């Protein structure tokens, strides 16, 4: 998955050798649940009217009791299992105390020393990235600042629809070595989460946010440099750019004899740079203590094993199978293996008897870019119609669009449109002769050695007879011109 473009792994240093980049990632993911983490409020949609999904519990009113959401716990455990984590027998929730207007309780319920899972890994482009922990917590509300520059009147509002929405926090060890690897890690994680159904993980909807911590050190050194943490990055592109910028910033500081300050930084999309937000807090700043209103959970082993058995084929295994069983090229495997729906479509169409390579071609070239999926049966039928010469590829493209829209079978649609492919030489010879007569310049150019003139002739031929078998027609033109 990794590409060398923009890779900041090796930075030439003016003196003292080469810099090595060290990145760890914290990723916050919203598990797929209907309700919030500790109350029955609906998750709602982006753009819902402010403060319409709130209750006594998520508003932090006195005298209420939070109750953990089983679906969120299940999504977290499935994620942990898919990442090969150990699931301890006991886990508990803790209060992380801090004051901020978007946090009505004055603390966030999170997990501190007994997280839901520890010690997993995710393999990305041949590198094994260790996962330190996957735990559960709750999201905060959102501040909306509205202002009137003219009258110098500024007001801030708070929307608590997101307060109490479940979040999984997936923390890696500092095992990533470049911006490319960090981006590929986040993409692979999203594929995994979607495959197991733990989250939709749509970054543009705030369902997945990445927070890389970044430091650099001289290659060969085993000590870690001072790191900065970038907050709330919400696209793969921003993640990549922000890391490249931050690495360059740290390099310039250190080479000028300055020091890197441990701090939290934001990413400005408009200015394409990182900026200081606040000095880094440490765990002791939060006064963590066990959440007194939620007893520690004892995780039933039989339940864990049920969840483990229920996991679907994981993306890495699936990709290996696509290569081993069908010898698909890596480019196709990267597209098909990145999306469970595409991968299921591929398997389904092949199971329905269509040749694997052609199915992969159609998925990569037509289905994936359109984002609209036909049924596996219909795709298989379409591929067979093309490969047995019944219809042309151009006709098949139209048939595919119509089949996706209506759900009707490609054979029906092709018959209705009178689509067929004409391969009969005597029929096509008349057509080829007409094309040569109608395009004397292109014909002369071709005879004179300009091979690309054939394109114009073929284009005219396809216009006159879309049903012509292009291979036979091309051979006839060559024969007549040659």
Which stretches of the chain bind Zn ion, using CB under 5 A?
A: 39, 41, 55, 57-58
Tokens of 448: 């004179």
* Smallest distance from Zn ion to CB 166, Å: 12
Contacts of 252 (CB under 8 A, 6+ apart): none
Which lies closer to Zn ion via its Cβ, residue 67 or residue 283? 67
Q: How many CB atoms lie within 10 A of CB 30?
A: 25
Q: What is the DSSP letter of 365?
A: I
How far apart CA 389 and CA 32 sit, in angstroms, is: 45
Tokens of 340: 């469970």
* Smallest distance from Zn ion to CB 288, Å: 23
* Smallest distance from Zn ion to CB 205, Å: 20
Element (H, E) at 360: helix 356-362
Which lies closer to Zn ion via its Cβ, residue 57 or residue 436? 57
* Smallest distance from Zn ion to CB 58, Å: 3
Which lies closer to Zn ion via its Cβ, residue 39 or residue 472? 39
Q: Are 213 and 22 in contact (CB under 8 A)?
A: no
Rg of the chain (C-alpha set): 29
Which lies closer to Zn ion via its Cβ, residue 39 or residue 367? 39
Q: Are 12 and 169 in contact (CB under 8 A)?
A: no
| Helix 179-195 with 340-351: angle, nearest 10 deg | 60
Which residue, among 67, 4, 39, has the nearest Cα to 294 in the 3D structure? 67
Which lies closer to Zn ion via its Cβ, residue 55 or residue 314? 55
* Smallest distance from Zn ion to CB 55, Å: 3
Which lies closer to Zn ion via its Cβ, residue 55 or residue 304? 55
Which lies closer to Zn ion via its Cβ, residue 41 or residue 214? 41
Judged on CB neighbours under 10 Å (0-12, 13-18, 19+), 324 is exposed
Which lies closer to Zn ion via its Cβ, residue 34 or residue 287? 34
| Helix 470-481 with 440-447: angle, nearest 10 deg | 70
* Smallest distance from Zn ion to CB 52, Å: 11
- 479 alpha-carbon distance from chain centroid: 50
* Smallest distance from Zn ion to CB 59, Å: 7
* Smallest distance from Zn ion to CB 34, Å: 13
Alpha-helical (H) ranges within 64-199 are: 70-82, 179-195
Tokens of 373: 């999926």
Phi and psi torsions of 395, nearest 5°? -60, -40
Each residue of 416-447: b (16+ CB within 10 Å) or e?
A: eeebbbbeeeeebbebbeebbeebeebbebbe
Which lies closer to Zn ion via its Cβ, residue 137 or residue 246? 137
* Smallest distance from Zn ion to CB 56, Å: 7
* Smallest distance from Zn ion to CB 37, Å: 9
* Smallest distance from Zn ion to CB 57, Å: 5
How far apart CA 97 and CA 99 sit, in angstroms, is: 7
Q: Is residue 453 classed as helix, strand or coil in its secondary structure?
A: helix
How far apart CA 34 and CA 264 sit, in angstroms, is: 32
* Smallest distance from Zn ion to CB 397, Å: 49
Q: Is residue 151 classed as helix, strand or coil in its secondary structure?
A: coil
Which lies closer to Zn ion via its Cβ, residue 34 or residue 237? 34
Which lies closer to Zn ion via its Cβ, residue 61 or residue 351? 61
Report strand pairing: 18-29 vs 208-218: antiparallel
Classify residue 60 as left (phi > 0), alpha (psi -120 to 50) or beta.
left
Which lies closer to Zn ion via its Cβ, residue 68 or residue 312? 68
Judged on CB neighbours under 10 Å (0-12, 13-18, 19+), 72 is buried
């Amino acid at each position: 998955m990794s590409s060398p473009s923009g890779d900041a792994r090796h930075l030439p240093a003016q003196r003292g050798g080469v810099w090595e980049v060290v990145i760890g990632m914290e990723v916050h993911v919203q598990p797929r649940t209907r309700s919030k983490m500790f109350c029955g409020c609906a998750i709602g949609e982006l753009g819902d009217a402010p403060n319409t999904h709130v209750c006594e519990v998520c508003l932090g009113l006195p005298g209420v009791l939070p109750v953990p959401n089983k679906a969120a716990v299940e999504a977290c455990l499935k994620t942990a299992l898919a990442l090969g984590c150990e699931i301890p027998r006991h886990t508990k929730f803790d209060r992380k105390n801090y004051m901020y207007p978007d946090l009505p309780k004055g603390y966030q319920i999170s997990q501190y020393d007994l997280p839901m899972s520890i010690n997993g890994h995710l393999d990305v482009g041949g590198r094994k990235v260790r996962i330190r922990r996957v735990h559960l917590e709750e999201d905060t509300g959102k501040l909306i600042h509205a202002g009137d520059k003219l009258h110098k009147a500024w007001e801030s509002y708070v929307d608590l629809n997101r307060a109490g929405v479940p979040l999984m926090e997936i923390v890696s060890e500092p095992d990533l070595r470049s911006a490319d690897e960090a981006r590929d890690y986040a993409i692979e994680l999203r594929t995994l989460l979607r495959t197991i159904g733990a989250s939709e993980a749509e970054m543009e909807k705030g369902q997945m946010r990445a927070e890389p911590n970044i430091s650099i050190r001289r290659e060969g050194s085993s000590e870690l440099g001072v790191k900065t943490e970038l907050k709330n990055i919400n696209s793969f592109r921003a993640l990549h750019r922000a890391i490249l910028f931050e690495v360059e910033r740290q390099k310039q500081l250190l080479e000028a004899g300055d020091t890197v300050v441990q701090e939290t930084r934001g990413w400005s999309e408009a200015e394409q740079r990182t900026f200081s937000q606040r000095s880094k807090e440490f765990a002791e700043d939060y006064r963590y203590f066990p959440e007194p209103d939620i007893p520690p959970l004892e995780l039933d082993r039989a339940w864990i094993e049920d969840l483990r058995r229920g996991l679907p084929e994981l993306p890495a295994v699936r990709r290996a199978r696509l290569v081993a069983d069908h010898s698909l090229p890596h480019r196709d495997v990267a597209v098909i293996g990145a999306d469970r729906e595409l991968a299921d479509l591929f398997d389904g169409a092949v199971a329905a008897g269509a040749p694997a390579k052609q199915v992969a071609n159609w998925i990569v070239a037509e289905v994936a870019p359109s984002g609209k999926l036909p049924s596996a049966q219909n795709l298989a039928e379409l591929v067979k119609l093309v490969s047995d010469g019944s219809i042309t590829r151009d006709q098949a493209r139209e048939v595919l669009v119509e089949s996706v829209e209506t759900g009707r079978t490609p054979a029906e649609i092709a018959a209705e449109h009178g689509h067929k492919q004409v391969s009969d030489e005597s029929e096509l010879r008349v057509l080829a002769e007409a094309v040569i007569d109608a395009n004397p310049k292109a014909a002369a150019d071709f005879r004179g050695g300009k091979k690309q003139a054939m394109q114009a002739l073929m284009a005219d031929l396809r216009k006159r007879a879309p049903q012509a078998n292009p291979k036979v027609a091309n051979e006839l033109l060559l024969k007549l011109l040659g």
